[in-house]
Amino acid sequence: MNMKKIALITGATSGIGEACARKFAEGGYNLILTARREDKLAQIKQELESFCTEVKILVFDIRDAEACKNAMNSLDENWSKIDVLINNAGLALGLEKEYEGDLEEWSTMIDTNIKGLLTMTRLVVPGMVKRNDGHVINIGSVAGDAAYAGGNVYCATKAAVKAITDGLRIDVAETAVRVTNLKPGLVETNFSNVRFRGDNKRADNVYKGIKPLTGADIADVAFYAASAPKHVQIAEVLILATHQASGSVIHREK
């Protein structure tokens, strides 16, 4: 194995996660990519290895803490020295009013967006602390700053990501480990398709009349944060499309 830095990216088969994989591969990192879809992970691995990047794929559901542990324990000594952890795996489901929401969908969001992020942090960060080096980049959201109509539980999970990120930064302040919360606004990925359970027409309307961000835009910011000088910690970045002012204020062209 060549002696490049290693980035571990969760939810790496689409959207921001896949874009981060491509950006960090171009930037000279070896990669550990995790997701549930083995076929897509294998495809991305093949593509990225053309950058002379070594790619390890781990197939598991981040909601399953035991599967997370087993996957991480399968890494040998070289692969386990992770320099950058990008906690990207996450999703939104539905836009129903809180009193009409689906209990199972709430559990899926909480187990993925909060508990999955915590599990991976717990498994990776002790090694960073021991080596006194490393960087955790959590993908939060503008939705974590203030609730919007129908966002209720999803917004709560991203508010939790902010609090968890801030708490971790406090906990590692005596070390050289850096902690970043990236808060994207409107990003055109499969996010809305998942939220609306495959209703492509409804998903397309989310981006109607505005030029949204792309996964690559967020990956650029993540790579910038990871590339900053060691004494610089990019603690939090809010990234919005030009015509988006907040989670709920968007100007759309007619």
Catalytic residue positions, numbered: 154
Helix, coil or strand: residue 219: helix
Q: Render 90-147 in DSSP notation, one character per residue.
A: --------GGG--HHHHHHHIIIIIIIHHHHHHHHHHHHHHHT-EEEEEE--GGGTS-
What does DSSP say about strands 30-35 and 55-59: parallel, antiparallel, or unpaired?
parallel
Please, which residues have CB within 8 angstroms of residue 55's CB and are 6 or more apart in sequence? 25, 30, 31, 32, 33, 44, 45, 48, 49
Edge-to-edge strand order for the sheet containing 6-10?
55-59, 30-35, 6-10, 84-87, 134-139, 177-184, 236-239
